Amino acid sequence: MVAPLKVGIAGLGTVGAEVVRLIEQQSRTLSSRCGRPVRVVAVTARSKAKKRGLDLQRLDWAKNPLALASDPGIDCFVELMGGAGEPALSAIEAALKAGKSVVTANKALIAKHGLKLAKAAEQHGGALNFEAAVGAAIPVVKTLREGLAGTAINRVYGILNGTCNYILTRMEQEGLSFAECLKDAQRLGYAEANPSFDVDGHDTAQKLAILASLAFGTKVSQGAVYVEGISSIAPEDLRAAAELGYRVKLLGVAVRTSKGIEQRVHPTMVPKTSSIAQVMGVTNAVTIDGEGIPPITLVGPGAGGAATASAVVADIADVARGIRALPFGRPVERLRSIAKAPMERHEGGYYIRLMARDLAGTAATIATRLADEKISIESIVQRHADGVDAVRMTGKAAPVPVILITYATSEDAVHRALAAVQRDKVISGRPQVIRIEKN
């Protein structure tokens, strides 16, 4: 009889409890697939008395995560507590130094301390698996690290936050404002009481930093990611996007350029015909562009107890099989340092929405300022103001929305042109600018 893989789990929240349940339910299948049984033998959590719908009587209860990680009675330490620091960091370090394998769903910890932990795994012979940290049930880590090990990656991008995708979907389909959709997302449990980590793009940035390391062999650096959230997106931007053949998504994009690896998170217009544009609601998706192959798009639930637990159990199964992949696909010493790419050097198409004042020469002034920066316009749409006749109410003509789609240009050229237009006082308010990502 082959000895079972003995698992210890730190953290029994929604995901942790589901992992215990899933291992019990799938015990025969796991044993068959792995060539040995997989058993949870010990756990720890902040509250032992909390009702979880599990029978934990037969399991050892460790007094704290560090004690569990150091327990000689376990082979695999599973960290599901969360947080970029303690107690998760010390517990994982202790497990790795003891030669144990570690499975975690902790994106914040991997984004901040992943290199140090990967080095410890290399030195002591254990695995460090974190599939659930990026995209939950979407197997993007294994795809980049193992499935595409022989392929040069040019770009990896995707929808990595279900909260933002849900909000943008509702705004588009129902014409609601960002504030209205956010409030509803909080009521339904898709957004936290303090939603800034999600809607300001930081959750996506952590995940993108991990994907960029796997794709390009760079050191994980969340600080190298340019980050912009979705709170500035208005229903009129989504309507305009639809009419122009686009859809707005919050994307994390890591791309190889002649200037180096560019990493950015921001609202993005994508062609409606693209795979990523079809992904609605809380669903996540990642597209990988590699040399010599058509783009690969992986779509699935990017969060939730069952989805995350399925990825955690898959990582545990790899440990049971004896698979010891390098955490980031390369030895840590071969990962390259990366500096933050200035967004001013980014090149691509742009959507620009201006509120043009009804003054003689306004259109000519805007066109001149764009031409000064050698910005070519692909299309231009002028709309009439909605609602009550502003001239009758105020004696002045209301500003008219003007929407421009540019050909490929540089970020700094767009900013210089728009700054000049604002100095000319031919527009009201702040211009809206959304980058366009082509297929």
Contact 329/149 with Cβ under 8 angstroms? Answer: yes
Contact 219/259 with Cβ under 8 angstroms? Answer: no
Amino acid letter for position 2: V
Cα gap 110→114, rounded to integer Å: 4
Residue 50 appears among annotated catalytic residues: no
Q: Which one of 6, 112, 142, 207 is the catalytic residue? A: 207
Relative to beta strand 128-129, strand 153-159 is unpaired
Cis peptide before 87 (omega within 30 of 0): yes
The strand pairing partners of 406, in sequence order, are 377
Q: In what order do the strands lie in the sheet with 128-129?
A: 60-61, 38-44, 5-10, 76-79, 101-104, 128-129
φ/ψ of residue 292, rounded to 5: 80, 5
* Closest-CA residue to 75 (of 318, 325, 332): 318
- All residues at 6 or more sequence positions from 38 whose CB lies less than 8 Å from its CB, including other chains: 4, 5, 7, 23, 27, 30, 31, 316, 317, 320
Helix (H, G, I), strand (E, B) or coil at 243: helix
Cα gap 48→193, rounded to integer Å: 26
* Closest-CA residue to 251 (of 345, 156, 383): 156
Q: Which residues are catalytic?
A: 207
